[in-house]
């Protein structure tokens, strides 16, 4: 099995503008991903996402091209600057498709972290499993009319 990156494609019955809003603003992110989020979707901006009271993860926005693309680096140690060697890169690409959006998701950088084989395999497995849970939550959130921006 290759552990270089996670790739998923999902179709969402919402326009790219709506999907971009939901993947890039804290009030919407909290509805389908972290417990808390602080982020400004501007290239170079830093923020954090929190899971419970103890797990706070920094992130750095790499690309923000509404409503087409959002990417950020995360999973690096607090106090560090995100680089390809110390973080993972998440990219959401939004492509108009009929009345909705094809969302292409990738998370890369696992091999670049330099983890030993067992740690690489376990971290990849954990992230793949979590995204397999979270991306359908995103779709479900977008399917609720009251949630749309």
pLDDT at res. 49:
94
Alpha-carbon distance 134 to 140, whole Å?
10
pLDDT at res. 1:
54
- Tokens found for residue 126: 């954990």
- What domains sit in the chain, N to C, each tagged with a CATH number? 5-144 (3.30.530.20)
Asked if residues 100 and 11 have their Cβ atoms less than 8 Å apart, the reply is yes
Specify whether the backbone of 83 is left (phi greater than 0), alpha (psi in -120 to 50) or beta: beta
pLDDT at res. 18:
95
- Low-confidence stretches of the chain (pLDDT < 50) are 147-148
- Global confidence as pTM: 0.92
Alpha-carbon distance 124 to 108, whole Å?
10
- How would you write 135-147 as a 3-class SS string? HHHHHHHHHCHHH
pLDDT at res. 148:
46
């Amino acid at each position: 099995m290759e552990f270089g990156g996670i790739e998923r494609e999902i179709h969402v019955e919402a326009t790219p503008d709506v999907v971009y809003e939901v993947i890039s603003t804290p009030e919407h992110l909290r509805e389908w991903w972290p417990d808390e989020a602080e982020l400004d979707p501007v290239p170079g901006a830093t923020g954090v996402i929190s899971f419970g009271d103890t797990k706070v993860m920094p992130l750095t926005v790499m690309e923000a091209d509404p409503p087409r693309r959002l990417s950020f680096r995360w999973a690096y140690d607090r106090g560090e600057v995100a680089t390809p060697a110390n973080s993972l890169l998440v990219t959401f690409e939004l492509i108009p498709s009929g009345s909705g959006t094809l969302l292409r998701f990738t998370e890369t950088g696992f091999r670049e972290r330099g983890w030993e084989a067992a740690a690489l395999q376990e971290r990849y497995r954990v992230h793949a499993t979590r995204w397999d849970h979270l991306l359908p939550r995103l779709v479900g959130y977008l399917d609720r009319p009251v949630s749309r921006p």
